[in-house]
């Protein structure tokens, strides 16, 4: 297992995602002799996991079962231990496309935070790209570095514990893309500019507040960035379900054979069960979530032109 390479069988030391049911998952590290408790009972790593195929169904001690999944950056994003607020897949997807990331890209990122975006970047730039990520919080930087090693992507990333607004990214003239998720991105634009390759590249800054965006755009303009563009993406998850609508009763009709023919929705009409005096129609539809994420952050993109 690695976050940048699929494998078929679970091995000791792997991170696997235990899928417990609708929207309920947990990540575990596989160690022979270890046990993990779930609400369906215990999973014994040596017998239940090691040597099994990713995607198989595992029966727990109480007779319940779970699926064991191969880790991906997307599964990691919804399972990782939060050390900060994180970026979610919808934003990550757009950042990846709009920064032109692909295998071989060299990327600078700050802050590392909980590593949600970092894993997605590493997946995309492998096997020959590199991520330089800067985190000013020592403990978070250390934790992230440890995770990258555990996830077998350590060779693709350098974690630096410094303040990007003061000290920059620790590299100059190497980046194809720069990503900023810090409280005052405008203070880091100058350093971002230096990090880019001579031929330039793409920059993205993520900010929750419009005032931050305003200052960032001004700074980008001052530093000669082009194609400055701010956008926001929201994802809606549609809940698929069958809904039953009761048909109104207009009372008995007189000589109503003609009208009945035209108005009869034959294929979907369901014989009334609960209340014999009403008939109903069932249809498959989706309902919007009662509540959804209405705002994560504004994404500001820009192109650093060739020097």
Q: Which is nearer to another protein, 230 or 279 (CB)?
A: 230
Per-residue burial over 12-36, b if 16 or more Cβ lie within 10 Å, else e, is eebbbbbbbeeeebebbebeeeeeb
Sign of the four-CA dihedral 150, 37, 34, 59: negative
User: Is 171 an interacting residue with respect to another protein (CB under 8 A)?
Assistant: no
Among candidate residues 296, 136, 298, the one with its CA nearest the CA of residue 216: 298
Q: Which of residues 88-127 bind another protein (CB under 8 A)?
A: 89-90, 92-94, 96-98, 100, 102-104, 106, 120, 123-124, 126-127
Contact characters 232-271, another protein, x per CB under 8 A: xxxxxxx-x-------------------------------
What is the smallest separation between the CB atom of 298 and another protein, expressed in angstroms? 7
Q: How far apart are CA 66 and CA 22, in angstroms?
A: 11
Q: Which is nearer to another protein, 239 or 269 (CB)?
A: 239
Looking up tokens 């900060």, which residue turns up? 84
User: Is 73 an interacting residue with respect to another protein (CB under 8 A)?
Assistant: yes
What is the smallest separation between the CB atom of 248 and another protein, expressed in angstroms? 25
Query: Which of 42, 190, 231, 243 is close enough to bind another protein by CB under 8 A?
Result: 231
Q: How far apart are CA 41 and CA 180, in angstroms?
A: 43
User: Is 149 an interacting residue with respect to another protein (CB under 8 A)?
Assistant: no
What is the smallest separation between the CB atom of 249 and another protein, expressed in angstroms? 29
User: Is 280 an interacting residue with respect to another protein (CB under 8 A)?
Assistant: no
Half-sphere exposure in the Cβ direction for 298 (13 Å, CA): 19
Beta bridge partners of 53: 9
User: Is 230 an interacting residue with respect to another protein (CB under 8 A)?
Assistant: yes
Query: Which of 19, 136, 186, 225 is close enough to bind another protein by CB under 8 A?
Result: 19
Any known ligand binding at 115? yes
User: Is 155 an interacting residue with respect to another protein (CB under 8 A)?
Assistant: no
User: Is 284 an interacting residue with respect to another protein (CB under 8 A)?
Assistant: yes
* The token pair that represents 243 in the structure block: 């809904």
Any known ligand binding at 135? yes
Contacts (Cβ under 8 Å, ≥6 apart) of 244: 270, 280, 281, 282
Q: How far apart are CA 71 and CA 152, in angstroms?
A: 12
Q: How far apart are CA 25 and CA 78, in angstroms?
A: 8
User: Is 219 an interacting residue with respect to another protein (CB under 8 A)?
Assistant: no
* The token pair that represents 212 in the structure block: 């931050």
User: Is 197 an interacting residue with respect to another protein (CB under 8 A)?
Assistant: yes
**Binding-site annotation: residue ranges:** 114-117, 135, 163, 181
Residues in binding site for S-adenosyl-L-methionine: 114-117, 135, 163, 181
């Amino acid at each position: 297992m690695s976050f940048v390479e699929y494998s078929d069988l679970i091995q000791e030391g792997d991170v696997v995602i235990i899928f417990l049911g609708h929207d309920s998952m947990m990540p575990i590290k596989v160690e022979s002799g270890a046990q993990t408790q779930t609400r369906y009972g215990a999973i014994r790593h040596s017998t239940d996991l090691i040597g099994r195929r990713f995607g198989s169904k595992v029966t727990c001690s109480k007779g319940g079962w779970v699926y064991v999944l191969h880790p991906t950056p997307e599964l990691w994003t919804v399972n990782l231990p939060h050390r900060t607020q994180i970026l979610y897949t919808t934003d990550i997807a757009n950042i990846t496309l709009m920064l032109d990331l692909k295998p071989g890209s060299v990327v600078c990122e700050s802050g590392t935070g909980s590593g949600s975006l970092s894993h997605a970047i590493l997946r995309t730039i492998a096997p020959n790209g590199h991520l330089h990520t800067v985190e000013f919080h020592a403990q978070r930087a250390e934790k992230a570095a440890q995770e990258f090693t555990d996830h077998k992507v350590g060779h693709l990333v350098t974690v630096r514990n410094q303040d990007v607004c003061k000290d920059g990214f620790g590299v100059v003239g190497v980046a194809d893309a720069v990503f900023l998720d810090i409280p005052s991105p405008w203070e880091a634009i100058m350093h971002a500019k230096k990090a880019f390759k001579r031929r330039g590249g793409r920059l993205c800054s993520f900010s929750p507040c419009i005032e931050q965006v305003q200052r960032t755009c001004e700074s980008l303009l001052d530093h000669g960035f082009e194609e400055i563009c701010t956008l926001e993406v929201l994802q809606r998850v549609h809940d698929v379900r069958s809904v039953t609508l009761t048909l109104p009763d207009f009372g008995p009709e007189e000589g109503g054979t003609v009208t009945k023919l035209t108005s009869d929705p034959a294929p979907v009409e369901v014989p009334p069960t609960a209340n014999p005096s009403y008939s109903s129609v069932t249809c498959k539809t989706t309902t919007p979530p009662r509540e959804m994420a209405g705002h994560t952050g504004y994404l500001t993109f820009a192109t650093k032109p060739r020097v």
